[in-house]
Structures are given as C-alpha cells and as structure tokens.
Structure 1
Amino acid sequence: MAQAAGRVARALGAFVDGAIPVRIRAWDGSEAGAPADSGAPVVVLNHRRALRRLLWQPGEMGLAHAYVSGDLDVDGDLGEGLAAMWGLVRDGAVKPRKPRLGELPGVVADAARLGLLGPKPAPPPEAIRLPRFARLHSKLRDRAVIAHHYDAGNDFYELILDANMAYSSGYWADLGGELTPANLEAAQEAKLDMICRKLGLGPDSTLLDVGCGWGSLPIHAAKHFGAQVRGVTIAAEQRDHINQRIRAEGLADKVQVDLVDYRDIAARIDGYGEFDAVSSIEMGEHVGDENYPTFAATLFGALHPGGRALVQQMSRRPADSPGGGAFIETYVTPDMVMRPVGDTLTLLQQAGLEVRDVHVMREHYVPTIRAWLATLEADWDRAVALAGERGARMWRLYLVGGALAFEENRMGVDQILLSRPTTTGRSGMPATRVSFEPVSDPAGITAP
C-alpha cells in the first residue's frame, strides 16, 4: 500500500507541469516529491485536513487556513520557504494545469484513500466575522474591523512593537543592521523625528494626528518638539493606553486623545480648521476608495492656510490586489485599499492640498517587520499565552508574508508631505528643499 506522501505527490503531479517543486512529509511520517538533498522547501502535512482545505480552497486561502490551524507547516525557516515557493511560481518554474482525462480516475482514487472527500472544513476562528448587513466602510463595519485586528490586546502589541508602540514603518540608518529591540526603537524614533521636522513643529505648534494608534507620534511631538497635539482613534484600547502614557510622561497639558471617527472630526474636534499641521500614519489605507475624498477633505479642512500635512501610506502596483490578498483580507485587515501612490497623490490634490515631497520608504519596512517577527519568535511562548496558538501562527504568517511583499516590491510605503496653500498661493514652506533627516539623539531634539 502506498504511503500518504506518495499518494499526495502523485495527485499533486496531475495539477502541476514538471517535477513537484517541494518535498512533502505526511502525517504518517512518509516523504515524497522533490529529492531530500535538493534544498527544496519541505511542506509538512500534520493532518489530512490540510489537503481537504486545499481541495475546497486551492491557493492562498486554503494554505493560510491550513497553516493557521496547524494542519500544515513548513520545515525550517518559514520566510525562506515562502520566498522559494513564491519564486518558483513567479519565475514560471511551476505552472498549474488541469488534470488530463486519463489522470482523473487515479486522482479521485487517491483523494478517497487519503480521506479528502468530505464537507468543507470550517475556517479557524481567528478569521474575521463581520457584522451581518453592515455596509462596506460604514462606521459599524469599520469599528468591527478595527476591533478584530486589535483583539490580541495591548499586552500582545507591547510584546512585538518597540517602546514607542509605533505600528508603522520605521526609518533605518542601516538597512542591513542587526534586528535588535534597541535598533527597532531607534528606527521608530528616527521616523517620528523626521515626521515632526517635515511638519515644521516647534513649541506650541498645533498638530492633529488622525488615526493616532498607541500615541507614538503625539507623545513624541509633544515631548521633544513642544507641540500641542490632538489625536483621534476609534480603538478604545488604544485610547486608554495613550491616556496612561500621557499621565506617566506628565503631558496632560500637551496631548489630548479622543475616540472619534475621522468622518466626525470637523464636528467634534475643537479648533478644526486652525491646526498648524495634520498627520495620518498608515491609516489612509483603511478608509476605502469611496471614502478617500472625504478623508482627504478632512485633512485639508483641519489646516489653516499655510499649514502642512503628512500622510504615510502603503501602496500597491495597479495589477496587484488592492486589499493585500486573500489572507490579509480574511485574517488581518479586511476592506483595506492600497492603490498606486500616484493615484493617492491625485486624490489629495483634488482635495486642495499641494504635494511638496514624496519619500519612498519601501525598503525600510522590511527590517521593521522582521524586527517585529524576531521579537515574536524570541518570546513565542508568551505570544501563544496572549494570542493563542492559532493567533500566534496567524501573526507569524502575516509578518513573514508582509516582509516579503515589501522586499519584492509587491507593496510599497511612502511619506507624502503636503501643504494647504493660501488664497494667494503661498505654501508656508521653504522654496528650496531642506533636510528632514532625523538627528542622532531624539532625546536632544530642539525645535527647528
């Protein structure tokens, strides 16, 4: 009787032109596929349910469900395995095909013997469940999406992020440097410093931060530049965490954070229309195509004439999935829209903002994400205690895949500096480009 791995390899061969590109290790300990000494990724099938998932949902979604549930693993480094498999597909070394007529009886027989015939397995509970009948990007649905992504809790994010709790790309002085917590913190402080300098913040400057996360930018701007900051978020856990940090830092007279949807800012934030600067760091991806003009108009309306805005936002090429792909849309952040950066510039300009500078930071996201991943792996047991085994596996897959997407230019991230010109066309900015590079010691920052 053929062992399980041999049957799997034979069945898989009916769907792929050429040799099987991976080595398969089945639940019975058998192995087949690529030679053991070929260096090919080793796919470990811990349970026959992994194959049933792939039968019902071939491709990314079936693989994601199987990995998150623990039904499937990759032996060795997950990132190297995914990069190798993606490269085979990208370079055309693996070409899917339909089984030939004569192969179908054998495929069906192998599927039956492997126990693959049966109902569709339920997705792991970590997959998001959105409110029924909630309209796309309605306030109800947006709150549900945010709540899902932050369900792991502040303790989990404190585990993987730096001391600033900055959940966005850092700015690395050495892109090839060691991925240590200290270097991650320095990269995030450099990013925060650069944003404050681009916005021209100084003592008593006023800043509105839209989608302020755990308060890394509001606190940095107040503490190191003397700015008066209002932050808004729709995540209650984030708001509560920021308030604790504000009290601990003695910044209650400098920073205020409100639980406000960006669509309600004009009605609920005192001083709307009179801010010196407005920022939004990796939040614009989540408002959707239909609402982006409203988002852009909100940034424009918050500024007094001559004020500055900075948007840090992820992007994708036109042919790629704007939502990030099936895995991200199912497990991480549904409803996200990443468009080419040029399209975003057009939308911001249509709101009345003038584009002053576009800073491509794609390469900087690779070490940022890999530093988060290194911290997750180093404290895996605590991550499992906080998020559960499946939750921790979901985060591992998310971070590994995200780093690869930025490294291989399937995703980008850009800082867009803008101004609200006066009625006579004055931008309020220097006519020549000035250096916005961060200083080496953020603690010693003085106002520009």
Structure 2
Amino acid sequence: MTTATSTTTPATGAAQEIERVLRPFAGGDLPVRLRAWDGSEAGPEDPAVPLVLLNSPQAITRLLWNPGELGAAQAYVTGEIDVAGDLDTALSHVWSEVSARGLTGVRPGPASFARAARTALRLGALRGRPPAPASQAQVSGRLHSRRRDRLAISHHYDFSNEFYAAVLDEHMAYSSAYWTREDQTLEEAQAAKLDLVCRKVGLAPGKTFLDVGCGWGSLSLYAAEHFGARVLGVTIAEEQKRFIDDRIAERGLRDRVEIRLCDYRDVASAAPEPFDAVASIEMGEHVGQANYPTYVEVLHDAVRPGGRVLVQQMSRAGTGGGDHPGGGPFIESFIAPDMTMRPVGETVDFLEAGGLEVRDVHALREHYVRTVDAWVERFEAAVPRLRTLVPEEYLRVWRLYLVGGRMAFRDGRMGVDQILAVRPGAPHDLPAVRPW
C-alpha cells in the first residue's frame, strides 16, 4: 500500500480540475482528498478524510469507460489509483459517506457529463477503452453451461495451491470458520466448523457421506479421519483434486476417501447409490439462480430417505436477482464470475420446494468477520513470499477482495448460514434437543 509523502502542491492542477468535475456526482464536497499525478491536491483537508492517489490519467480513462465500482477496482488493481494509509479505513469512510448522502441516487445533468468529457480531454484521459487487467476473469459461453462453469471456477480456485496454503489454515478450509472461544486460532476455528458440520449431518463410523464442491478436501478428510465416514468428494477444479489426492495418500485414507472431477449435475450417474448424509459448503453460490432447483434436486436425490443434508451458503439481502446478484461488479469480474447470492429465506424456499424438510437455519455472519480477519493477517504476513508466486496486480486484487468482503460481513450486507434439512420418506434421527 502506498504511503502519503509530502510534496509541493501546485496552486492549480489536475486534482483541482477533477474535483470541480466530480462535485455534482458527489452531491457536493468529495468524501476523499485527491492527489493527482502532477502533484496537485484538492478536496477536504481534514486528516480523517482518506487521501486517494491518482497515479495516472488512465485512472480517469477507466472510470469514464466503466463508471463506478468496476472502473475504480480496475484502476486500483493496476496501481493507477491507490490509497494512502489503511485500505479498510478508506473504504469504510467512503461507504459510510455514500450511504449517508444517498449518492447512489445522484443523477447529474447533461452539462455535468459534458464538463467531465472536456476535462478528461484536457487532461489526456479521453482515449480508447483500456485493456482489462490481466487479473480480471475472462469467461464466455452460455451462462452456467458446464464449460463456462469450469472456466469460472478455474479462474479462482485453480489460481495457485501454494498461494492458498499461505492464506488459509492447515485444513485448507476456504469458508467461514466457527469461533467457539476468544483465544482460538484460525485452524482451531476451522476444525470446530468441520466438527460442527459432521455432527449436524450425523456422521459415524461406516456411514457414507457426499461432499459436493469439496474444495481442498478439508471436510472430506475431516469426516474420514475424525468420524470414520466413507466419503466421496466432487469438484471441477483440477488443482484442488491434485492437492486432495496427495493428502489422501499422505494420510493413508485411500480406503475411505475418493475425490472425483465431477460437475454437480453428474453426481447421480457418478454415484447412483444414495448416501447417508450430504453436505455442500459455500458451493451453492456458484450454481446460479436458474440452476438452483437442479442443485437442490441433486442434494435431495443423493441422500437416502431420512438422511440429512447441510448447506452452508453466503447470503445477501435484497439482491432480488438484479444486475449484480453476485455482490457487485468487482467480485463478479475478478473473483467469482456468475455467482448468485440471495436472502437466506429465498434459499430455504428453494430447498423446501425441492422436497427437503428444513430443520435448522444457523446464522454465522459474525464468524465470517473473524475468519476474514485471520485471512487478512495471514495474507499480509505472507506478502513477501506471495510476490514470488504471483504478479503484484494479483496481490492488489486479493487485498481489495479480503478487505471488501470483511466490510460486507461486518456491516451486515452479507451473511452466511448453515441450513440443515432432511429428506422425507423415512424416519429421521435428529434429536429433539439440539446438541450443538
């Protein structure tokens, strides 16, 4: 992160011109102070106001072509825009100002846009569309076709096993942990989550268990090692399968754990016999709104009557399947293309419409805040080593991703829930008083 340095500020310059142009769009004073590439500064002089560094006219070009979050994110990950000081503090300040002023509803008139275009031309920023950053996802084809889903998943999950090992815990669990004590480590909190899932679905020695979207195998391996279950895990990420297969061999679990490269839609043909229990941890977000009934059908049909199904899934209030059901232009363009999040109640409706009886909804939003806190700490400590693995641009993507995600969970704009259900058709053995 760039740190503010003292410079001689010209009486007028690019920053002053940009500030004048942005005032109608900001509803008055800017929520940040600007320092432009020519050293000029403009905006509030309050030290509590973040200082945004415009390092290149191309930052303005990107914002002209992609106004709002996407253009700003592109400029940030390429280093054309930076923040002096702490990114979380700056983003939190801007978000609070946007919310307080109702800036999402500001609609400047044609004269404001004309003035912005003239200023951009004068500053050398009115040019052709800049190329997308190398770190931005490139997916094509029919939405949620098997091919496109493989591309979308591979973009993020096949990124680098070594990179993820530096950021995640020893279990390689890439989902919300379950913090049961103040002094827990990330690894202990992830183990608590894995244990909670296994107990909720009723695992015991010899029981069969399906892990849909098994990631790097944290749940599959834990269920076999600690509960004696016989596990099938499925993923469409080749690097994940390679990683898990190595761990299975190292731990002598080949007789209890099998991992297959398998689309969730092909589970029935890959494993026709029903399982005693099924879980899917933060994978349902990737199947899309239209395909969610198919996903529920797979979970329903994969478990025996009376068996339990657990879905842990992120939620987002009020998306309503709008323009950005995945959480916004940045995360949809750089992290999880084609992702869909919805209010938890709508997911419960899908599960019930698919024939499952929902028995528990366990909200874990605060647990995700602590989880991302731990990931941020590990990420920042590992940056020198991560620089040997990936270009700097990818580190900026991850910093923005982690900080922005932590804010969304902290502020209640996103949640995560464990939804426990049973398949009707036979008696279930869920206790009347929950042991968890």
Work out whether the TM-score is over 0.5. Answer: yes
Please name the residue that 1:6 is paired with. 16
Cα distance, 1:42–1:427 mapped onto 2, change above 3 Å: same
Please name the residue that 2:3 is paired with. none
Partners in 1 of 2:107 and 2:269 — Cα distance? 56
State whether residues 211 and 281 of structure 1, in contact with CA within 8 Å, keep that contact through their aligned partners in structure 2.
yes
Q: CA deviation at 1:117?
A: 1.5
* Residue 119 of structure 2 is aligned to residue 110 of structure 1: yes
Please name the residue that 2:6 is paired with. none
* Residue 370 of structure 2 is aligned to residue 367 of structure 1: yes
* Residue 220 of structure 2 is aligned to residue 213 of structure 1: no
Partners in 2 of 1:375 and 1:355 — Cα distance? 36
**Pairing of 1:119-268 with structure 2 (within 5 A):** 119-131=128-140, 134-174=141-181, 177=182, 183-268=185-270
State whether residues 158 and 237 of structure 2, in contact with CA within 8 Å, keep that contact through their aligned partners in structure 1.
no
Partners in 1 of 2:132 and 2:417 — Cα distance? 34
**Pairing of 1:92-103 with structure 2 (within 5 A):** 92=101, 94=103, 96-98=106-108, 101=111
Find the partner of 1:346 among 345, 349, 361. Answer: 349
Q: CA deviation at 1:152?
A: 2.2
Partners in 2 of 1:105 and 1:56 — Cα distance? 15
Q: CA deviation at 1:422?
A: 2.3
Q: CA deviation at 1:151?
A: 3.9
Secondary structure of residue in 1 paired with 2:241: helix
Partners in 1 of 2:284 and 2:54 — Cα distance? 39
Partner amino acid, structure 2, of 1:227: A
Partner amino acid, structure 1, of 2:216: W
List alignment gaps of at least 5 residues for structure 1: 437-448
Partner amino acid, structure 2, of 1:150: Y
Q: CA deviation at 1:258?
A: 0.8
Partners in 2 of 1:387 and 1:244 — Cα distance? 23
Please name the residue that 1:441 is paired with. none
Cα distance, 1:264–1:12 mapped onto 2, change above 3 Å: same
Partners in 2 of 1:434 and 1:130 — Cα distance? 44
Secondary structure of residue in 2 paired with 1:386: coil
Partners in 1 of 2:386 and 2:421 — Cα distance? 39
Q: CA deviation at 1:98?
A: 1.4
Partners in 1 of 2:434 and 2:113 — Cα distance? 67
Partner amino acid, structure 2, of 1:194: L
Please name the residue that 1:417 is paired with. 420
Partner amino acid, structure 1, of 2:247: R
Find the partner of 1:389 among 382, 388, 392. Answer: 392
Partners in 2 of 1:238 and 1:170 — Cα distance? 19
Offset from partner CA, 1:334-373 (integer Å, 9 cap, x none)? 1111111111111111222111110001111111112112
State whether residues 210 and 278 of structure 1, in contact with CA within 8 Å, keep that contact through their aligned partners in structure 2.
yes
Offset from partner CA, 1:218-269 (integer Å, 9 cap, x none)? 1111111111111111111111100111111111111111111111111112
Partner amino acid, structure 2, of 1:76: G
Offset from partner CA, 1:94-125 (integer Å, 9 cap, x none)? 57441574x67764543233111111211101
Secondary structure of residue in 1 paired with 2:166: helix
State whether residues 278 and 303 of structure 1, in contact with CA within 8 Å, keep that contact through their aligned partners in structure 2.
yes
Offset from partner CA, 1:16-55 (integer Å, 9 cap, x none)? 22212211111122221111x3411111111111111112
Please name the residue that 1:429 is paired with. 430
Q: CA deviation at 1:381?
A: 2.2
Partners in 1 of 2:351 and 2:241 — Cα distance? 27
Under a length normalisation based on structure 1, what TM-score does the superposition of the two structures give?
A: 0.90
Secondary structure of residue in 2 paired with 1:246: helix
State whether residues 152 and 336 of structure 2, in contact with CA within 8 Å, keep that contact through their aligned partners in structure 1.
yes
* Residue 36 of structure 2 is aligned to residue 26 of structure 1: yes
Q: CA deviation at 1:421?
A: 2.1
Secondary structure of residue in 1 paired with 2:42: strand
Partners in 1 of 2:113 and 2:422 — Cα distance? 63
Q: CA deviation at 1:80?
A: 1.0
Q: CA deviation at 1:60?
A: 0.3
Partners in 1 of 2:339 and 2:31 — Cα distance? 33
Partner amino acid, structure 1, of 2:203: L
Cα distance, 1:118–1:228 mapped onto 2, change above 3 Å: same
Please name the residue that 2:5 is paired with. none
Moved more, 353-362 or 375-384: 375-384
Q: CA deviation at 1:65?
A: 0.5
Partners in 1 of 2:123 and 2:20 — Cα distance? 12
List alignment gaps of at least 5 residues for structure 2: 1-10
Find the partner of 2:51 among 42, 57, 73. Answer: 42
Secondary structure of residue in 2 paired with 1:293: helix
State whether residues 384 and 391 of structure 1, in contact with CA within 8 Å, keep that contact through their aligned partners in structure 2.
no
Secondary structure of residue in 2 paired with 1:159: helix
State whether residues 265 and 272 of structure 1, in contact with CA within 8 Å, keep that contact through their aligned partners in structure 2.
no
Secondary structure of residue in 2 paired with 1:110: helix
Secondary structure of residue in 2 paired with 1:324: coil
Please name the residue that 1:439 is paired with. none
Moved over 6 A (4+): none
* Residue 320 of structure 2 is aligned to residue 322 of structure 1: no
Find the partner of 2:72 among 57, 63, 75. Answer: 63
State whether residues 278 and 310 of structure 1, in contact with CA within 8 Å, keep that contact through their aligned partners in structure 2.
yes
Partner amino acid, structure 1, of 2:192: A
State whether residues 315 and 414 of structure 1, in contact with CA within 8 Å, keep that contact through their aligned partners in structure 2.
yes
Partners in 1 of 2:360 and 2:349 — Cα distance? 14
Secondary structure of residue in 2 paired with 1:358: strand
* Residue 401 of structure 2 is aligned to residue 398 of structure 1: yes
Paired residues, number? 422
* Residue 298 of structure 2 is aligned to residue 298 of structure 1: yes
Secondary structure of residue in 2 paired with 1:98: coil
Partners in 1 of 2:230 and 2:280 — Cα distance? 16
Moved more, 41-50 or 207-216: 41-50
Partners in 1 of 2:387 and 2:106 — Cα distance? 36
Offset from partner CA, 1:153-211 (integer Å, 9 cap, x none)? 1111111000000000001124xx57xxx711111111001001111111111111000
Percentage identity across paired residues of the two chains: 52
Partners in 1 of 2:346 and 2:27 — Cα distance? 38
